[in-house]
Amino acid sequence: MKLYTFTICLTFATLSCVAADLPLAKPCNETECQLPTCRCSSVNIPGGLAPRDTPQFVILTFDDAVNVNNMFSYRSLVYNRLNSNGCKAGVTFFVSHEYTDYTLVNELYNQGYEIALHSISHEANQEYWRDASNETLMREFGDQKIQIAHFANISIDSIHGLRSPFFQMSGNSTYQMMTNAGLTYDLSWPTINFINPGLWPYTLDYKSIQDCVVPPCPTASLPGPWILPMISWRDLQGVPCSTADTCYYIPDRDDEEGWFSFILSNFERHYSNNRAPFGFYVHEWYIAVNPALRAAFIRFLDTINHLNDVFMVTANEVIDWVKDPIPLNEYITKDCRQWTPTQCRPSSCNAITANHTEMIYYLQICNECPNEYPWVNNPLGL
Ligand SMILES: [Zn+2]
């Protein structure tokens, strides 16, 4: 296999560079790259299905800390929502550590939602993520998997996905880390070239055709992890936006009807074409401060929950379907997603000092209080 050399520079020691060899990704070979472990990057529907036989998946995600500020929205917007097949609608939460109340993460998990990773530090300096090595990313995401499972008392095996802060990937390192940390999919890579038709999830065994919106993107052959492309929306002027809350030309603040048709027109681009998963990626605060959008969002969810070929599912369920793409008529008779609720014995840990800053933190967890505030390099606060 053809090899090339690249250099990983550790962010904390700019002169300390180590060389690593990774095989360069080659153009995809459709015959060799077969489900369930390999898929070429393409707009083709998995399994060669026709659009009318393809479930239209809707992936709703919320990012950042989970706490009392946003739980009201989560409870009122998504709890008790069912798809037309009677299965509980899925939502994926990309949780960052700081200011997260882990007793509430436990609640979301027990409601059947997917808990995924969004890093321990959510470091604001984007260059930190751009230049991060596999080792740094292991401290941010690999350790966060252990951290969330511990403090929210949820199954570590239920954690499958990640979203990099600011959608800033770290080239090959992101996917090396995913393999090391036992993660299945990444939902951080925006595309503006593959909106209509949209790009379906794929693996990195071979060279990706996806446009690199926030470099560096992977260049090596990295079997294992799945890419769930963030297919951009188009705003009212046709400008692409990776998340619902970054669109620029948007309906008027009080125009509920305008917001509803804005959301619907973005959805229909997927639904009436190759049915690539439709992402509704948003921060809770954006919905909370825009009542007309909130009303339109509820109408949209009510609408799709009544369509018999549309399903709100977790991001991980989409990957599961792509690995084994059964047609719509089979999908609707399939068992619903299962989960085993876990108990939370809540602890309120007051005035914990942090090592990385002078600040004092308060921590709500389903476990015994740590000695110091958990952070990068000490995820359990031992
Ligand atoms: Zn974030």
Q: Tell me: pLDDT of 343 over 50.
A: yes
Q: How far is CA 131 from CA 18, 119, 164, 268, in A?
A: 13, 15, 13, 37
* Average pLDDT taken over every residue of the chain: 94
Distance 283 CA to ligand 1 centre (A): 8
**258 C-alpha to center of ligand 1: Å?**
27
Ligand 1 centre distance from Cα of residue 287 (Å): 15
The answer, yes or no, to whether residue 18 has pLDDT greater than 70, is no
Distance 100 CA to ligand 1 centre (A): 12
Angle separating helix axes 102-110 and 68-78, nearest 10 degrees: 10
pLDDT digits (tens, 9 = 90+) for 48-58: 999 999 999 99
Is residue 356 very low, low, confident or very high in pLDDT (cuts 50, 70, 90)?
confident
Mean pLDDT on 329-338: 96
Domains in the chain: boundaries: 34-341
> pLDDT confidence of 195, banded at 50, 70, 90?
very high
The Cα-based distances of 360 to 67, 95, 349, 371, 379 in angstroms read 17, 21, 11, 12, 16
pLDDT above 90 covers a percentage of the chain that reads: 92
pLDDT > 70? residue 312:
yes
pLDDT of residue 11 exceeding 80, the answer is no
Please enumerate in sequence order all residues whose Cβ is within 8 A of that of 354, keeping only pairs 6 or more positions apart, or say none.
360, 361, 372, 373, 375
Where residue 355 falls among pLDDT bands split at 50, 70, 90?
confident
Label residue 35 by pLDDT band (50, 70, 90): very high
Distance 95 CA to ligand 1 centre (A): 8
Q: How far is ligand 1, taken at its centre, from the CA of residue 75, in Å?
A: 20
Ligand 1 centre distance from Cα of residue 246 (Å) = 13
Structural contact between residues 231 and 194, judged by C-beta atoms closer than 8 angstroms: yes
Cα 351 to Cα 348: distance, rounded to the nearest angstrom = 10
14, pLDDT greater than 50: no
Q: Ligand 1 centre from 118 Cα, in Å?
A: 7
- Cα-Cα-Cα-Cα dihedral of 160, 307, 265, 313, to 10°? -10
Q: Kindly give the distance from the C-alpha atom of residue 297 to the centroid of ligand 1, in angstroms, as a whole number.
A: 21
Residue 15, pLDDT above cutoff 50: no
Gap between the Cα atoms of 50 and 56, Å rounded: 12
What's the CA-to-centroid distance between 166 and ligand 1, angstroms? 6
Mean pLDDT of 17-45: 89
Structure-token match 């939502």, residue found: 91
221 alpha carbon – ligand 1 mean position (Å)? 28
Q: Across residues 334-353, what is the average pLDDT?
A: 95
CA of 77 from ligand 1 middle (Å) equals 20
pLDDT band at 20 (very low <50, low <70, confident <90, very high): low
The structure tokens listed for 253 are 């603040």
Angle between helices 68-78 and 291-305 (to 10 degrees): 40
In this structure, are strands 3-9 and 17-23 parallel, antiparallel, or unpaired?
antiparallel
Q: Which residues surround ligand 1, an ion (CB under 5 A)?
A: 63-64, 165
**Residue 68 region by backbone torsions, left for phi larger than 0, else alpha for psi between -120 and 50, else beta:** alpha
What is the rounded distance in angstroms from the CA atom of residue 112 to the CA atom of residue 27? 39
Distance 48 CA to ligand 1 centre (A): 35
In which element (H, E) is residue 149 found? helix 143-151
Q: Decide if domain 34-341 falls under CATH 3.30.420.40.
A: no
What's the pLDDT score for residue 7?
40
List the structure tokens of 250.
């948007």
> Across residues 132-141, what is the average pLDDT?
98
Q: In this model, does residue 136 exceed pLDDT 90?
A: yes
Q: How far apart are CA 146 and CA 154, in angstroms?
A: 10
* DSSP-assigned beta bridge partners for residue 366: none
Average pLDDT over residues 6-12: 41
Q: Supply the pLDDT for residue 246.
A: 95
Is a pLDDT exceeding 70 seen at residue 38? yes
Q: What is the pLDDT of residues 279-305, one digit of tens each?
A: 999 999 999 999 999 999 999 999 999
pLDDT at 4 over 80: no
DSSP bridge partners of 88: 82
Q: What is the dihedral of CA 323, 324, 325, 326, to 10 degrees?
A: -170
Alpha-carbon distance 151 to 363, whole Å? 10
What whole-number distance in Å separates Cα of residue 283 and Cα of residue 108?
Answer: 16
User: How does strand 56-63 pair with strand 278-282?
Assistant: parallel
DSSP 189-254: -EESSSBTTBPPPEEESS---S--SSSPPP-B-EEEEEE--EEPEE-TTS-EESSGGG-SS---TT
Ligand 1 center to residue 312 CA distance, Å?
Answer: 22
Please classify residue 237 by burial: count the beta carbons closer than 10 Å to its beta carbon, then call 0-12 exposed, 13-18 middle and 19+ buried: exposed
In angstroms, what is the span from residue 104 Cα to ligand 1's centroid? 18
276 CA distance to ligand 1 middle (Å)? 24
Torsion of CA 171, 173, 179, 181, to 10 degrees: -130
Q: Contact 279/231 with Cβ under 8 angstroms?
A: yes
For the segment 217-250, what is each residue's pLDDT rounded down to a tens digit?
A: 999 999 999 999 999 999 999 999 999 999 999 9
pTM of the model: 0.94
Ligand 1 centroid, distance to 278 Cα (angstroms): 20
